[in-house]
Amino acid sequence: MSVMSNILSRPKIIVSTNAEAAAQEVARRFEVAISVRPDIVLGLATGNSPKSVYDRLMAAYNNGKLSFARVTSFNLDEYCGLPNGHPSSFSTYMREKLFSKVDIEPGNYHLPDGGAPNLEAVAKAYEAAISASGGIDLQLLGIGRNGHIAFNEPGSSPMSRTRAVELSAITVEANRADFPAGETPPRHAITMGIGTILEAREIVLLATGAAKAAALDAAINGPVCDACPASFLQLHPNVTIVCDNAAYGAAPSAVPTRL
């Protein structure tokens, strides 16, 4: 069942002094959520910002404070066409950053298969698997410099579902640093849709660095429109944005909590 509202909501905003403090706050929220509900269904993200979140969750597991044994997770997206085990694939990222370091059951974590020959079938099966799990309880998001969430580029519909998409030149260039020197990042990916994301019961968006300030400002203060896909988060009643001072530099009008 969708939790999307027709009434615009101001997301809760938490501003931390730096990127590490922001990641610590997001990790704390996930620790509490997993502790309260051990069989929680998580939506997970990749990229630079979540790395510190996963480091902290792994540390909590190593210290005996947290177990992932009953957790189910669904990642937002995956590149299309990368060979199995490619070092820059999101499946490799998640395995190295979290899954191989904690006690999550191999059958309980999911990423869309960007290497499958029939991506439409993969997308439908992914949506069905999310639904069969009872839906995502807590979704982690980042934000792209052009306002994309997951790989939903500008122009994406708020009703969009998991599907294959073409990445913008801005996104491809931003991804270049994550690939071996001389290798061009894929121009296509398979991603949860905005409609899929908005069905999560709670959403936490992590944004750090001055490069994200303009996109974050548009997401919070701009009109709700497909020019900034993250602005559709204003349609969700339970969104928390955790950012650092640099990402908050555009001074959104909402009154934040400062850590």
* Known catalytic residue at 18: no
Q: Which of 25, 77, 78, 137 is catalytic?
A: 77
User: 60-93 pLDDT, tens per residue?
Assistant: 999 999 999 999 999 999 999 999 899 999 999 9
* Known catalytic residue at 146: yes
User: 139-169 pLDDT, tens per residue?
Assistant: 999 999 999 999 999 999 999 999 999 999 9
Q: Which of 137, 153, 217, 244 is catalytic?
A: 153
Dump the DSSP string for 2-44.
----SS--PPEEEEESSHHHHHHHHHHHHHHHHHH-TT-EEEE
Q: Which of 113, 148, 236, 244 is catalytic?
A: 148
CA 60: distance to chain centroid?
Answer: 21
Rounded (5°) CA angle 54-237-53 = 5
Residue 4 has pLDDT above 70, yes or no: no
Q: What's the Cα-to-Cα distance from 220 to each of 97, 205, 226, rounded to whole Å?
A: 30, 12, 14
Dump the DSSP string for 68-108.
-TT-EEEESEEESSPPTT-TTSHHHHHHHHTGGGS---GGG
Residue 259 has pLDDT above 70, yes or no: no
The residues, ordered by sequence, that sit 6+ positions from 167 with a Cβ below 8 Å of its Cβ are: 151, 153, 175, 185, 186, 187, 188, 189
* Known catalytic residue at 148: yes
Q: What's the Cα-to-Cα distance from 3 to each of 84, 226, 235, rounded to whole Å?
A: 35, 19, 9
* Known catalytic residue at 238: no
Please give the class, per CATH, of domain 12-258: alpha beta
Question: pLDDT at position 250, please?
Answer: 53
In this prediction, residue 1 has a pLDDT band, given cuts at 50, 70 and 90, of: very low
User: 194-243 pLDDT, tens per residue?
Assistant: 999 999 999 999 999 999 999 999 999 999 999 999 999 999 999 999 99
Q: Which of 78, 86, 137, 146 is catalytic?
A: 146
